[in-house]
Chain A
Amino acid sequence: MSMPAQISPSFSPRRVAAMMLRYWYLLRSSWPRLLDLVYWPAVQMLTWGFLQYYIASNAGFFARAGGTFIGAVLLWDILFRGQLGFSISFLEEMWSRNLGNLMMSPLRPMEFISALMVMSVVRLSIGAVPVTLLAIAFFGFNLYGLGFALVAFFFNLMFTSWAIGIFVSGLILRNGMGAENFAWSIMFFFMPLTCVYYPVTTLPAWLQPLAWMLPPTYVFEGMRALLIQKVFRADLMLDALGLNAVFFSAGVIGFLALLRSARRHGSLMQTGE
């Protein structure tokens, strides 16, 4: 007879795999979900790419700084889609009324979070790889040509996206679907401050320290340094990594605190508005 294991381990890769399988089954069964991963990043990249192409042909600086807009769009999409991929996988549980099943199963919060993190990378890859190929085809911009720098950019941006995704998921757990909008919009709060399309020096002096408190600011500055000055700023990447460690820890601590609060307030029983 099939029996459950007698001891439930504190972290089970099998339970993480179960959740990944659950999201993979879902993605596989729904072409609109798959299409959604690609079409918006593609539209955005093409719009900004053509704009950059136009500006570059009329301004010397932009001609020299080839690819900064497209690079910024693609890196912003890693940040935004990474968080969205995390949050949407979490929201799928709310939409399907499955969260109660998971919360009353042996699945532990860190296993749940791990599965959501992996799925955010999977979802991002499904969307981003075709778009980066389009960028090569349309504008001759090869993101992969950034080499090791791209790895550093990608890792730092994903780290931030997970930290924010984890915290937003906690907010939704605690406050129900009324907090769903945060999942869609919270990253846009960071957009002007992280200086996606312009240098930090563009911001008013009093706002610049705030910008430097956000890990993605270092990534976008690093991207401009690489594309314009042809210099890889490892110092910026290390600063971003340090800040990301703080953001990620705060995200996990916040999530666990919100989960405890949800248990106290009975929010896990009512996952509606």
Chain B
Amino acid sequence: MPAATSPSIAVERLVKIYKTVTAVDSISFSLTPGSITGLLGGNGAGKTTTIATIMGLVTPTSGRVTVLGAEMPQQRYRVLHRMNFESPYVEVPMRLTVRQNLTVFGMLYGVEDVRGRIAQLAGELNLTEFLDRPTGRLSAGQKTRVSLAKSLINNPDVLLLDEPTASLDPDTADWVRSHLERYCRERHATMLLASHNMAEVERLCERVIIMKRGRIEDDDTPAKLLARYGRRTLEEVFLDVARGAGVESEAAQ
């Protein structure tokens, strides 16, 4: 099969069981290169475990995950330098300056011209004036932009984002979304976005996967989901799924 049509991420019958708890229960999906996909679900739905498995941070109990053709986690070092992620559950070291942090991660990811890349990212993300300030002394919005810069330092082909705009004011959040959208379009990068912000998902994602109790409850474009559930917003669709309400056609039957 030509490389262009190979999925960037392929998840096949993925199961992850922690002792007696099934966090992910036989899910399958694949993401095409350049696509932006939202991963929705309530707390404990299995989103974080799914993303962690894709990153090679968790070994599946059964099933298979491949990223850019490499099996995770066994072949992760073939592709980790082409991936990156951002999550509110991890932070860049706060005592280091923004420049120091980006230098360290640039070197870790094998960026050839680290200085040039930092200057470029600082310009794009309005970080130039903060580059030599300790990261811990920045505002929440500025820190998020630093995390975003870290996640883009290697020009990733696959970008995994967990709540990228959590705790940001609407203006900054909107700015971050625009930047991510532009990056993916220009770079033809694949983005998987876990979020509780339905407006964000609706704006960014061409496809939405909704998880509940470790399983995929629905998987479609936002427009088709809205039509199927007979709702006006994704938030209403999310609530229907979370509360166990069926799709409109089923309800009619």
A residues adjacent to B (C-beta < 8 A)? 1-5, 8, 10, 12, 14-15, 17-19, 21-22, 25-26, 29-30, 92, 96-108, 260, 263-266, 268-269
Contacts and interface: CB of A to CB of B under 8 A. Distances in A.
Contacts of A22: 93, 96, 100, 104
A26 B96 contact: yes
Nearest to A97: B91
Most B CB atoms within 10 A — which of A2, A25, A97?
Answer: A2
B77 interface: yes
B94 A265 contact: no
Contacts of B95: 25-26, 29-30, 96
Interface of B: 16, 18, 23, 48-49, 52, 55-59, 73, 77-78, 80-85, 87, 89-97, 100, 103-105, 107-114, 116-117, 120, 134, 150, 154-155
A109 to B, nearest CB: 10
Contact of B85 (A14, A104, A260, A268): A104
Given A4-B155, A18-B103, A21-B107, 16 more contacts: A2-B114, A2-B120, A3-B155, A4-B110, A17-B107, A19-B104, A19-B108, A96-B91, A97-B89, A98-B92, A100-B57, A100-B89, A102-B108, A106-B109, A263-B73, A264-B58
A264 B110 CA distance: 28
Interface centre among B23, B57, B134, B150 (most CB of A within 10 A): B57
A30 B97 CA distance: 13
A129 to B, nearest CB: 24
B139 to A, nearest CB: 18
B59 A97 contact: no
B108 A25 contact: no
A2 B111 contact: yes
Instruction: Output the residue of B93, B112, B134 with the most chain A CB within 10 A.
Output: B93
Contacts of A265: 18
Nearest to A92: B93
A2 B111 CA distance: 6
Given A26-B95, A29-B134, A263-B58, A100 B77 contact: no
Nearest to B136: A96
23 contacts: A2-B112, A2-B116, A2-B117, A4-B154, A4-B155, A8-B81, A10-B77, A12-B110, A14-B107, A18-B104, A25-B97, A26-B93, A92-B93, A96-B93, A98-B92, A99-B90, A100-B90, A101-B90, A101-B92, A106-B77, A266-B18, A268-B52, A269-B49
A26 B155 CA distance: 26
Nearest to A33: B95
Contacts of B117: 2
Nearest to A268: B57
Most chain B beta-carbon neighbours within 10 Å: one of A26, A97, A269: A269
Contacts of A96: 91, 93-95
Contacts of B89: 97, 100, 269
Nearest to A27: B95
